[in-house]
Chain A
Amino acid sequence: MAARSELAVTPRAPSALREGWDDLVRLFANVGFGVSLLALWAALTLIGVVIDQGKDPAYYVATYGPPFARLIGRLDLANIYHSGAYLGVLGLILCSMAAATFTRVIPRRIPRLGPVKIDAIPLHAAVRVRGEPAEVRARIAVFFAARGWHVRKREFGGDEWTFADKNNWARRGVLVAHAGFVIIALGTTLYWAKGFSGQFAVLSGASATIPQTGATLALKNFSYRIEPITTKAGIVYQPIDYVSVARVTGKDGVAHDAVIRVNHPYDVDGTLIYQSTYGFAVDLRLTKDGRLVPGGPDQPLKEGEGFPIGGTSRSIQYARFVGTIDRATGEPAADPRPNDPGVVLAAYDGDRPIGNVLVPLGRSLDLGAGYALTPVRYVLYSGFQYGYDPGIPLVGVGAFVLLAGLCISFYFLPARLFVIARPVEGGTEVGLAATTVKGYDVFEDRFGEIVDELRRGEPEPAH
């Protein structure tokens, strides 16, 4: 029996696996490690600020030169916020927060109620007052209770100690902040799992369908308001309003009138449609010897669109719209409104640009061999974004939980006062010491104020 009993109480040596796990948790719970991860997160975020994201490889070659462009491509720096490295760091931060929360934040307690060496605590003071210790202790309890401190009394070795605590609950602030961060991460994940977004452009009089929901938008018209404003630097053409008037048909099959403006999205079955961009599509007519020929564009082109010239390696691209051509110079004027409009057409031989030309609307561009290209008219089009994000409520809740956690952590300082009253000649000496979860410096002012208040409120000892 004795042998069995001995076996039963002998602590088992932790397994190598357990030790490894404990080491890993300790590492992840370490503040230095957590801050290192934050630094890594910051560095990756900054790379995304400095390097334009989501551009074509040719853009990086042109902007940074071939060696750096290759580096950007290999390290996935052009899409850094969705790269494995970025998501991996975020995952490690979540792990670090979880480890810190469960091993440091939750278990952290203010020291147990017990006697302390008042002089050994950096924030300490002694106040001499009139009266017997028991009477002074009672007055002090009232003093602290009246100022919102939670007062408790304990006796140790014949000495009666008074302990006053404030904002003890606020130790959970970091936990709340961490929880907010996790809720935001969950909300973001929900968008990736179930949300969608996209964009489309619709010519006035045409319609488009949102592929994920089947909702359709028929654009009646798009209008804009741009006003010339006189500033110190000259006239600035300031956009004032962009408005799309449309008929939107959702799951119920009923068409609803919709006026969509910037900052005023339209909700169709939970999917929001946003006014995003606008532009001028242009009808281009290709003729030979004055007669319309096949091979030209069969519908208005938007900026950036083009068409090949049949039987050749060449193509024509509609590069951009010019609202007003300066009659005197023939160059684009500052006014973007279509007063005297034209289009900039770019010619390509294969992928190689071979030239740009500004052609006023209604005039023909001679392409040679009897061919001519004429920008006939413009049609306004409206660009929309749409999106469905079921994670938004969760992200919102997480954001405010995070904010609440920060405010609790920063503005409610958990503190404890240790107070002992001992008899001295002519009265009682009250010894006070204070400790907080954030060190002593941060409580120095308040402690001084408390001691001063106590000194002022208590009668001085008889001499």
Chain B
Amino acid sequence: MDPTRQLLDQILLSFGLAAYIGGALALFAYLLLRLPILRKLGLPLAIAGCAAQFAELGARWWMTGVWPLTNLYGSLSLFSAFAVLIFLIFAFRYDLALVGGPVLGLAAIALGYATTWNQGYMPAVPALQSYWIKIHVPIVVGAYASFMVAFCVSLIYLFKLAAESHYRSRATLRAVAAAPGGARVDFTLSAYASTPAATGRIDTPAIADAAARGDAFASWLAGLPSLARLDVMQYRIIAVGLPLLSLGIITGAMWANEAWGHYWQWDPKETAALFSWIVYASYMHLHTRPEWRGPRTTLVSVFGFASIIFCYLGVNIWISGLHSYKM
């Protein structure tokens, strides 16, 4: 291929990666310091990186005439671009810029890892020469990306929950020390999860209490979104991912019916995707119950993303099957 075009591809890829790394640093710093300038720096970098990535994929298609999602490099590249895009939508719609550090960090790692699978410009194998590749792959990768963003929110939730537990145990020790008769304190983490919401409420009282007493770390924690809000954000992002995953499985089945003679072959990739679908369907069922909503559903979300990574990379790389398109 024309070296000038290859150079354009490289420049866009490098720019996207650099923008993600810069954006991740800025938004991690924003998470720590809450300086608005860092948010104003990080979000444009995220937008620029995302745009560069889409441009790179588009340019690759234009230059080679081959749909760029026929290999692991292309799909991982789209995965990181979609993850950042979904993050940006939620950041602007729901003021979720605080999650940007982990999202952009993981997107940069995914893109960096993708480059190790970039073998150049190859035509598609016969099984991938179908219009379905333009429908099925972006939908499935969009679902994976949604779950990645939900996972980042889950991490912040669990971090804040663990900190709340820590401050509660310290508060309990103080209470026990102060009251000669001893004090009964509820240690169950779900106690707060079932607390009904109210506008402006505090659902991490131990953190709020410590913050009021001047604890700097608690003050920082108190500035994070409430647990209830983080839980709702996870729910909303998974509510994007699960229909996408369902649609991805459906379109994959339609493609399989055209290519392999049956819509369901019990191929490892199909069954791994079904496994992830069941995990997230369980999440949604559990989320309907107040007693399960919160820490438990968050753990399901984390487990769900682990299952997605297994389905996406583990099955592609380690388990041979009809979906082994590594190169």
Chain A interface residues toward B at CB < 8 A: 31-32, 34-35, 38-39, 41-42, 45-46, 48-50, 53, 81, 122-125, 197, 227, 229-233, 236, 238-242, 261-265, 272, 274-276, 385-387, 389, 392, 395-396, 399-400, 402-403, 406-407, 409-411, 438-442, 444-445, 447-448
Contacts and interface: CB of A to CB of B under 8 A. Distances in A.
Interface residues of B, number: 59
B243 interface: yes
Nearest to A391: B263
25 contacts: A35-B286, A38-B282, A41-B278, A42-B279, A42-B282, A46-B275, A49-B275, A122-B201, A124-B198, A197-B261, A230-B120, A232-B119, A233-B119, A238-B125, A241-B126, A263-B126, A263-B130, A274-B259, A395-B253, A403-B250, A406-B242, A410-B243, A440-B197, A441-B229, A442-B235
A23 B17 CA distance: 58
Contacts of A410: 239, 242-243, 284
- Most chain B beta-carbon contacts within 10 A, residue among A45, A124, A242, A274: A45
B127 A123 contact: no
B29 interface: no
Contact of B199 (A233, A262, A444): A444
B126 A31 contact: no
Contacts of A263: 126-127, 129-130, 132, 258-259
A240 B123 contact: yes
A239 B125 contact: yes
Top 8 nearest A-B pairs (CB, nearest first) are A231-B119, A410-B239, A385-B261, A262-B126, A122-B196, A42-B278, A441-B197, A440-B197
Contacts of A447: 199
A272 B246 CA distance: 26
B110 interface: no
Contact of B266 (A38, A81, A387, A445): A81
- Most chain B beta-carbon contacts within 10 A, residue among A49, A53, A407: A49
B281 interface: yes
Interface string B254-267: 10011111110010
A357 B110 CA distance: 45
Given A38-B285, A45-B278, 20 more contacts: A34-B285, A35-B286, A46-B275, A236-B119, A236-B122, A238-B122, A240-B126, A241-B129, A262-B126, A262-B259, A263-B130, A274-B261, A275-B126, A392-B263, A406-B242, A410-B242, A439-B290, A440-B196, A441-B229, A444-B232
A50 B321 CA distance: 12
Interface of B: 94, 118-120, 122-123, 125-127, 129-130, 132, 196-199, 201, 228-229, 231-232, 235-236, 239, 242-243, 246-247, 250, 253-254, 257-263, 266, 268, 271-272, 274-275, 278-279, 281-282, 284-290, 293, 315, 319, 327
Nearest to A125: B199
Contacts of A41: 278
A407 B241 CA distance: 11
B228 A441 contact: yes
Contact of A438 (B250, B274, B288): B288
B286 A31 contact: yes
A168 B115 CA distance: 49
Contact of A441 (B232, B272, B282, B286): B232
B282 A122 contact: no
Contacts of A227: 123
Q: Is the interface of B mostly helix, strand, loop or mixed?
A: helix
B130 to A, nearest CB: 4
A440 B272 CA distance: 34
A287 B19 CA distance: 71
B196 A439 contact: yes
B232 A442 contact: yes
A395 to B, nearest CB: 7
Contacts of A392: 257, 263
A411 to B, nearest CB: 7
Given A42-B278, A45-B275, A387 B126 contact: no
Contacts of B260: 274, 276, 385
Contact of B122 (A231, A242, A261, A386): A231
Contacts of A34: 285
Contact of A122 (B197, B262, B288, B289): B197
Contacts of B268: 49
Contact of B272 (A49, A124, A229, A402): A49
A47 B119 CA distance: 33
Contacts of A125: 199
A259 B198 CA distance: 66
A48 B257 CA distance: 21
Contacts of B123: 227, 229, 238, 240
Contacts of B94: 445
Contacts of A389: 262-263
Nearest to A187: B263
Contacts of B196: 122, 439-440
A348 B147 CA distance: 52
